[in-house]
C-alpha cells in the first residue's frame, strides 16, 4: 500500500478556519485541571459537603459539573498537533472522540514536508502550526455548521457535513476518498489496529514511511515524558514536559496570589501551599474554603475565571509558549497586572 493511501485523522471541536491547525502552545488555551493536588483536595471537599452518589451516572455528571465550577483555569503545553492514521482513536476513560463536532482528514503524502516528530497509528505528531492541503477534507456536524457565518464558511477547505457518531462518519469518508479504513486499538499488543484483512498492509505502509524518512515510531506519552532513546530525532520536543510544568505552575501561582489577596489565609499556610503544594496543605486550604462557605469560595473562583475569559476574548491572554518564554528569561508575565493594565485601563 503506497503512502497515498495513508490518511491523517484528527477529531476536534476546533474548526480549522483558513485551513490552519495550531498546537495548544500557540493558542490562548485554558482548561480546568482536576488531576493535580489542588483539584483532588477540592474534589474531596465537595464530597464531604454534598451527598452525591457517584455510582449513579447522573449524580456523577452533576458532581463533575459542580467540581468544575470550583476550579480555576489552568492551561497546558503541547507544541505538536496529534493525528491518528486511517481511523478514529477509540474513546477511553480519559478521552471521548466520537462525540466531537469536527474531524480533519488529510492525505499524509501532502504533509511530508512538515516536521513530523513521530508516526504511529494512534499517535502521529507534527510539530508547530500545520496548513491543510487542497486534498484535505473537514467533517463538521450539521448543527454546528448551521451556526457558522458565511464569512467563516468561506475560509474552510473542502467540507462534508455529518450527523451521529463521528467514527462512522470518518470511516465512510475514508472509504469514499480511496483510503483504507481501519479500527484503531489502544492495546499495545494490537500494534495500533484491530484485526482486519488490510491491517498488516496498513502497518507495513506506515513502517515503510517511517524507515524511508527517518521518523521515530514512538507514542506521544513516551515523547513528552522522555521515555525514548532517540534524542537526535526528538530534540525539537525534548522540553515538552518541562514546558507543561512551567505553564501549570504559572497558572496555579497566579490563582493562589489572587486567592490570598481576596480571602484571609495565614502566612505560614500561604507559604506551604505555594512552596510545597502537596495534598495535605491543599486540604488545609480547602478547610479554609469551608469556613468561609463554599458558595463564597465559588464566587471568588468565578470572578477570577471571568477575568481570564475577558483576557482571552480580548486577545491579550498570553499563549503557553509566551508564558514559557517569559519564565525562562526570568521576566514572568503578571496576568492580573496585565488584566488591570489592558482591560481596566481601557475602561477608565
For 132, the grid coordinates are: 491543510
Query: What per-residue confidence (pLDDT) applies to 234?
Result: 78
Which tens digit of pLDDT belongs to each residue from 13-43?
A: 999 999 999 999 999 999 999 889 999 999 9
| Helix then strand then coil, % of the chain, to nearest 5 | 50, 15, 35
Return the closest-CA partner of residue 9 out of 185, 198, 179.
179
Among residues 221, 225, 218, 305, which one has the least CA distance to residue 259? 305
pLDDT of residue 175: 95
Angle at 187 between CA 182 and CA 193, to 5 degrees: 15
- Strands 137-141 vs 159-162: parallel, antiparallel or unpaired: parallel
Stated length of the chain: 348
Helix (H) or strand (E) holding 243: helix 240-262
pLDDT tens per residue across span 276-305 = 989 999 999 999 999 999 999 999 999 999
Cell readout for 77 is 503545553
Q: What is the pLDDT of residue 77?
A: 94
Residues of the chain scoring pLDDT < 50: none
The angle that helices 267-275 and 279-292 make with each other, rounded to 10 degrees, is 140
pLDDT of residue 223: 77
Dist. CA 276–CA 271, nearest whole Å? 8
Phi and psi, residue 117, nearest 5°: -85, -40
Residue 2 pLDDT: 67
- Identify the three-state secondary structure at position 95: coil
Given this model, what pLDDT does residue 232 score?
67
Amino acid at each position: 500500500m503506497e503512502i497515498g493511501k495513508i490518511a491523517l485523522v484528527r477529531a476536534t471541536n476546533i474548526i480549522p478556519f483558513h485551513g490552519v491547525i495550531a498546537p495548544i502552545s500557540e493558542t490562548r488555551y485554558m482548561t480546568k485541571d482536576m488531576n493535580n493536588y489542588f483539584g483532588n483536595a477540592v474534589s474531596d471537599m465537595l464530597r464531604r459537603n454534598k451527598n452525591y452518589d457517584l455510582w449513579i451516572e447522573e449524580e456523577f455528571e452533576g458532581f463533575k459539573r459542580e467540581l468544575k465550577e470550583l476550579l480555576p483555569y489552568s492551561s497546558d503545553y503541547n507544541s505538536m498537533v496529534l493525528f491518528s492514521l486511517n481511523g478514529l482513536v477509540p474513546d477511553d476513560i480519559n478521552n471521548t472522540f466520537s462525540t466531537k463536532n469536527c474531524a480533519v482528514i488529510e492525505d499524509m503524502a501532502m504533509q511530508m514536508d512538515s516536521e513530523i516528530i513521530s508516526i504511529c497509528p494512534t499517535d502521529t505528531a507534527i510539530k508547530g502550526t500545520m496548513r491543510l492541503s487542497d486534498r484535505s477534507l473537514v467533517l463538521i456536524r450539521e448543527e454546528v455548521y448551521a451556526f457558522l457565518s458565511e464569512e467563516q464558511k468561506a475560509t474552510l477547505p473542502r467540507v462534508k457535513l455529518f450527523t451521529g457518531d463521528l467514527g462512522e462518519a470518518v470511516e465512510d469518508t475514508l472509504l469514499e476518498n480511496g483510503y483504507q479504513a481501519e479500527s484503531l486499538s489502544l492495546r499495545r499488543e494490537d500494534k495500533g489496529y484491530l484485526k482486519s484483512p488490510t491491517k498488516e498492509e496498513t502497518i507495513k505502509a506506515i513502517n515503510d514511511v517511517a524507515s524511508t524518512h527517518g521518523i521515530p515510531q514512538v507514542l506521544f506519552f513516551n515523547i513528552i515524558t522522555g521515555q525514548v532513546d532517540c534524542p537526535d530525532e526528538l530534540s525539537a520536543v525534548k522540553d515538552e514536559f518541562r514546558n507543561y510544568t512551567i505553564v501549570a505552575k504559572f497558572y496555579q501561582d497566579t490563582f493562589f496570589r489572587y486567592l490570598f489577596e481576596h480571602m484571609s489565609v495565614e502566612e505560614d499556610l500561604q507559604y506551604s501551599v505555594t512552596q510545597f503544594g502537596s495534598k495535605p496543605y491543599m486540604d488545609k486550604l480547602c478547610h479554609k474554603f469551608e469556613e468561609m462557605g463554599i458558595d463564597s469560595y465559588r464566587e471568588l473562583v468565578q470572578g477570577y475565571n471571568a477575568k481570564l475569559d475577558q483576557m482571552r476574548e480580548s486577545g491579550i491572554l498570553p499563549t503557553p509558549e509566551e508564558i514559557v518564554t517569559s519564565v525562562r528569561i526570568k521576566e514572568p508575565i503578571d496576568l492580573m497586572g496585565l488584566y488591570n493594565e489592558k482591560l481596566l485601563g481601557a475602561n477608565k
